[in-house]
Chain A
Amino acid sequence: MILLWGSNAREAHPIFFHHVLKAVHAGARLHVIDPRRTTSAQWADTWLGLNVGSDVALANAMGREIIHAGLCNRAFIEHATTGFEAYAAGVERYTLEHAEKVTGVPADAIREVAHAYARADRAELCWTLGITEHHNAVDNVLALINLALLCGHVGRYGSGLNPLRGQNNVQGGGDMGAIPNRLPGFQDLENDEEACARFERAWGTPINRKYGWHMTEMLAAIDRGELTALYVLGENPVQSDADAHHVRHLLASLDHLVVQDIFLTATAEMADVVLPAAASWCESEGTVTNSERRVQRVRAALRPPGQARDDLEIMYDLARRLGHDWRYDSSEAVWNELRSLAPNHAGMSYARLEELGGIPWPCFHEDRLEPSYLHGWLWEDPLPRPPVPFTVVEDEPPVDELSEDFPLLLTTGRRLDSFNTGVQTGGYISPLRRAEELELSIADAEKLGLEDGQRVRITSRRGSVTAPVRVQPSLRRGLAFMTLHFPEEVETNLLTINATDPKSGTAEFKATAIRVEPVAGDGLGDRAAAVEPVAMAGD
């Protein structure tokens, strides 16, 4: 069985969903948990339309039900986990009745999916930003991990936990150390003495063995005046981050802003220096790592335009200006250095990546492949590492509370033909594309007297934009939907809240309290008003 939780893979990961549909046609059960009855949910045996942000309550209730029905995998729990008793006690108050009240999902439906998950021979639990774009993102993920541990659905062929990556190299970026606490090869910067020493030997210089800041922490540091210069590569935070007014204000306060991008994005417009870059996926050589940890080669098909240059060359030059003479003949030379320093990538030569159509990590040796799934050691006897813990997590509703002034809950996501802030997808003419719209449930549209195409003002506690309405039967009462795809027309992130998870730093894009009012005169020609700040309601 396949459990998609907070993922509309049909539109956000269409080719992954082909594989899901192959399984469905072959008899696999598909269950989808999502506040919206998405195009993915329309293929499901069961759709659980939960209230936005009630994921922990739902997962805990499923866990409790699995325990009470005697369906948990006792042998696995005893063999490979710790903390089960505390977990069982922690979920005890999440009865099906309580969960029904909190999540809006009927108790019978919760029971059915819990039993189906627990009884399945093999079960994949996949999630996307519906789980992680919350102020309690890490708790959400831990709640799902608890379920997998409870049933032993991890570390086996066909059973696992599968976060579907949203960008072509978000996995690779972390693997390569482009996160503040890891060295290339996902090696810990503060706690892995051996790895740190290996890098220091190779580079002939001591490295700063101290965790850095992730982006949310950087923004906070700018606010405190501790961070005064920023070098942004291939990001458009002015439009992609929550609470856009605030981000714009922070970047404007910097002493120095450098942006390296393939376009003059809204963020690049604010920069002191713009470094035009080659498009990494078709104008340069290297690797990316996909959602299944498969490292694959990207290759140059086109010559970059004008003075645009390969990211690597720009960085070499920058290093030289800073007094470090970095010399590599090719992207392959950089990769081979990485392989020599990151054991989990050691076996992946360019030749082998070519021959095998990509290789998932870990790949320790050039003459061997590891199993395609992780955590198989959890089933080994004796257990070669310490057992893994259950974590007690509690339900916490979204930060942006609904009120009389802000009675509707806006959630955000992607549409099939567009991507993030539209910087790339804006370049092709999609017959599927309509201008940005506020999707409303039939019930709410009726209550507000709104029809398709009617222009409305959407106001949150942070900002206000206008957009046309589209009545969307797949939305339940009280729920509204928009995307971030067309910030030039509708800057959705003026509305969203910068309530971030304390560990992951991810903002709660999925839950914004809004109100919706018709625009007098239907708002024709007020596109400019859509991106101008308005008087903000008190927070």
Chain B
Amino acid sequence: MSHALRAAPPRTVEIKLNGRPVQAREGMTILQVCQRQGIEIPTLCWERTLTPVNACRVCVVEIKGARVLAPACARKVEEGMEIETHSERVRHSRKMVLEFLASSVDLATTPNVDRWLEEYDARPGRYGPPAPPFAEGERDRLRAGHHEIPDGTHAATVHQPPKIDNELYVRDYAKCILCYKCVEGCGSDWQNTFAISVAGRGFDARIATEFANPLPDSACVYCGNCIAVCPTGALMFKSEFDHRQAGTWDESRQTVTTTICGYCGVGCNLELHEQDNEIVKVTSPLDHPITRGNLCVKGRFGFQHVQNRGEPAVRDGNGGPPAPAQARGGDGKGA
């Protein structure tokens, strides 16, 4: 009896990367080869746990003989391929992508983007001052083709107030670059809940629940697997959002401890982000074979019982039982 399924060993292909001959395993993407070679390719919509969607175009590279630039995150290496990762054409393309994003979207909580803006000489300010933000819900009502022609004096933006419609996480679509990662994580890549999708066309395109309903009236199951893959902080734990609003979010005072979820028997690894002896965020390692970075609502948000210290949890009238907080207060009957 065979004890495991064995695939045929992958073949090796020879490519040229920035003029240098490189051997790579057949089936690898250009991005994977570059990562192994220590060449930094900026990425926003790519995540190793998700199917590439080629949405952001910031990872494009030049392939000799190809008419258009190719997304490194999805394009697989082929025998004899000659790739330039930082040619003038590539740098110009990345500069434009970064300028368009940075002039229209709030990238204040996007890791690395400041560095990339500098590296590619991107100057989003040259598109003019930002246009006034949209009112709450206004972008959700936009219809394709129903637009006034802009006068060109202001940079078009997606700025709008954040959507705060539940106690667990916030959707701040002024920060959304439409990378599709949340849609993929919620959809067939992992969660298979399909609570969100892209609605609208062109510059009106936005991530929306069905009929733009608030989350509590949508199919959302609050696994937070969308937050886990969001590259810009558009999707954020309410706890992190509140800390940031209050100016008390301080990653230099935080520790990250990996432990095992206390619910069910699956054994999901939790990364507890702690600040001042409070859990402020929960993630899961992307490379762990059990979760691949995903959790359910209990693992992601069900930690509050260990830090309801003294005061009972807020109840919304028809919610769950009152948190038995007294015993955790230190002055309760048990202490």
Residues of A within 8 A of B (CB): 12-16, 18, 21, 25, 43, 156-158, 164-168, 170-171, 261-265, 268, 274-276, 279-283, 288-292, 294, 296-303, 305-308, 357-358, 371, 376, 379, 416-419, 422-435, 485-489
Contacts and interface: CB of A to CB of B under 8 A. Distances in A.
Contact of B302 (A296, A358, A428, A486): A428
B209 interface: no
A21 B2 CA distance: 25
Interface string B314-335: 1110111111111111111111
Given A281-B262, A301-B255, A425-B305, A15 B290 contact: yes
Interface stretch (B16-24, B111-119, B174-182, B185-193): B185-193
Contacts of B291: 15
11 contacts: A18-B191, A25-B188, A165-B265, A166-B265, A264-B332, A281-B260, A290-B267, A292-B267, A307-B335, A417-B221, A429-B168
B173 interface: no
B174 to A, nearest CB: 23
Given A301-B274, A417-B297, A419-B298, 10 more contacts: A14-B223, A15-B290, A264-B332, A265-B324, A288-B260, A290-B265, A298-B259, A430-B297, A431-B168, A435-B319
B257 A299 contact: yes
Contact of A281 (B168, B261, B335): B261
B216 interface: yes
Interface string B213-243: 0011000111100000000000000000000
A379 B192 CA distance: 37
Given A262-B306, A429-B313, A431-B168, A280 B321 contact: no
A358 B321 contact: no
Contacts of B298: 416-419, 425
A276 B261 contact: no
- In this complex, the member of B166, B263, B278, B289 whose beta carbon has the largest number of chain A beta carbons within 10 angstroms is B263
B192 A21 contact: yes
B265 A279 contact: no
B8 interface: no
A290 B291 CA distance: 13
Interface string B283-321: 001001111101111110111111111000111101111
Nearest to A285: B259
Contacts of A16: 266
A424 B297 CA distance: 13
Contacts of B168: 428-431
Interface of B: 1-5, 166-168, 188, 190-192, 215-216, 220-223, 255, 257-269, 272, 274, 277-279, 285, 288-292, 294-299, 301-309, 313-316, 318-335
A20 to B, nearest CB: 10
Contacts of B292: 18
A257 B232 CA distance: 53
Nearest to B190: A18
Contacts of B307: 302
Nearest to A164: B265
B322 A171 contact: no
Q: Determine the main DSSP class of A at the interface with B.
A: loop
A13 B265 contact: yes
B302 A263 contact: no
Contacts of A12: 264
A168 B215 contact: no
B319 A433 contact: yes
B305 A426 contact: yes
A474 B318 CA distance: 23
A435 B318 contact: yes
Contacts of B285: 357
Contact of A283 (B255, B263, B289, B306): B306
Query: Nearest 4 A-B pairs (CB), nearest first?
Result: A306-B330, A165-B265, A290-B267, A427-B305
Contacts of B221: 416-417, 432
Contacts of B266: 13-16, 164, 290-291
A297 B266 CA distance: 14
A292 B325 CA distance: 33
B330 A279 contact: no
A168 B265 contact: yes
Contact of B277 (A279, A302, A431, A488): A302
Contact of B274 (A281, A288, A302, A379): A302
Contact of B327 (A268, A296, A416, A435): A268
B265 A262 contact: no
Contacts of B328: 262-263, 305-306, 308
A382 to B, nearest CB: 14
B48 to A, nearest CB: 15
B323 A426 contact: yes
Contacts of B309: 305
Contacts of A292: 267
A434 B318 contact: yes
Nearest to B215: A431
Contacts of A156: 1, 3
B259 A281 contact: yes
